[in-house]
Structure 1
Amino acid sequence: MRLLLVRHGQSEWNAARRLQGQADIGLSELGKSQADTLRPVIEGIAPCRTVASDLKRVRQTSQHLGVDTPRLSKGLREIDVGDWTGRAIADIRKEDEEGYQGWRAGTAVPPGGEPWSDFADRVSAAIEDERREPCTNLLVVCHGGVIRALLQRYVGLQPAHIIPVAPASLTALRLGNGKSPRIELFNYRPDDLDFGAPD
């Protein structure tokens, strides 16, 4: 099975550099355009089915990718950032740079937030549920943290060693066939590179 992991397009809070976690924020106009740009790539691969986070920014991205009725999963929601929800990243870093960097590395938890290990367990369980049904190319429309968690669980990349996942980018993992899981593609966008993606 190949996992086609797509992060949602830029959201209104991504544009404002605010942490979202599980807040239900919609796409910005740029985010919609980013997803539209990725659509021909996804259509060319022709996924056998699609599973997606149930949050608005992901549902909207799915629609712009041409998927009107994905299977929705709460298990694929972004990590809960607790008291940091809605806060400007710059303000969090000014108050607690060490805590912020620890959170990015998966070693610290925001006040009231979800521990990285619990998050990774939740996300990988959702994918393992999907793997019970045969599918060559499974499209997973989700969040940057979800993709980073799956890279950790399947190929051993620790969060501290993974750059933020770009909005409306495609990452592909190959699972099964008697071989170790492999990364086939990371952070692909058909129109440009994005080395400064938002959290």
Structure 2
Amino acid sequence: MKIYIARHGLTDWNKEMRAQGRKDLPLNAEGRAQAEELRNTIKDIEFTAVYASPLKRAAETAQIAVGDRYDIIYDDRLLERSFGDFEGKVVKSWSELVDGVNIDDIALEEIPGGVEPVCSMLARVNSFLDYLKENYDDNATILVVGHGAMSKAFDWALTEHSADDVFGKTHLGNAEAKKYEAKGRFSTIRK
């Protein structure tokens, strides 16, 4: 199965370096232009299905990117990571905001300020990937349009890691897509 993970286009809060999380913000003009560039990038790919987060910025990116070629299936498991009390705040250093806690530590089950733990995001991503595995065959090509932190969770779930690897080292830019080949029915999914 081929899975294309795409991040939404730019929003005003992206430009301002504000934590968006679950805040439902639309794309700005630059973000809409980026979504059009994504459309040009993927125009020759035949997708079996297109999924997106229901948040405005991801939904709008998906709508621009695929136009009326496909019905878009919105799935809450693709929502962005919740940044709890810090949503809307300018974030220069997460470590300073949460008293030195590494919010990307996959072992943490609770993070100050109500930030969603990585293990929770990975559970949602793995549930979604299990759904794909159960409903599509190995020849399927799936487009998933979501968010920055969620794209990191997909990367973690769909690639091999050493014990030294750090969660979140792969980062998609706005309206950037990355292709994954899930060989052997997701043999590389990390649970």
Contact 1:52 1:59 in 2 (8 A): yes
Amino acid in structure 1 at the alignment position of 2:179: A
The structure with the largest helix share of the pair is 1
Instruction: Give % identity.
Output: 25
Distance 1:75 1:93, change over 3 A: same
Q: Which runs of 4+ in 1 moved over 6 A?
A: none
Q: Quote the residue 1:171 is aligned against.
A: 178
Kindly indicate whether residue 9 of structure 2 is the aligned counterpart of residue 9 of structure 1.
yes
Per-residue deviation, 1:128: 1.7
Per-residue deviation, 1:93: 5.8
Per-residue deviation, 1:16: 1.2
Q: Quote the residue 1:194 is aligned against.
A: none
Per-residue deviation, 1:113: 2.0
Alignment of 1:1-199 (within 5 A): 1-68=1-68, 69-90=71-92, 95-96=97-98, 98-99=100-101, 102-106=102-106, 109-134=111-136, 136-157=140-161, 158-160=165-167, 162-177=169-184, 180-181=187-188
Distance 1:170 1:151, change over 3 A: same
Per-residue deviation, 1:127: 2.4
Contact 1:4 1:140 in 2 (8 A): yes
Q: Which runs of 5+ in 2 are unaligned?
A: none
Amino acid in structure 2 at the alignment position of 1:55: L
Q: 1:109-163: per-residue Cα shift (whole Å, max 9, x none)?
A: 2411211101110122122212222252100011111111122122144544614
Distance 1:56 1:159, change over 3 A: farther
Task: Please give the TM-score of this superposition, normalised by the length of structure 1.
Answer: 0.80
Contact 1:84 1:110 in 2 (8 A): no
Q: 1:33-82: per-residue Cα shift (whole Å, max 9, x none)?
A: 11101112212112111011110000100111024531000011011111
1:57 and 1:161 mapped to 2: Cα distance?
21
Q: Which moved more, 1:139-148 or 1:90-99?
A: 90-99
- Give me the CA root mean square deviation: 2.4
What's the secondary structure of 2:143's corresponding residue?
Answer: strand
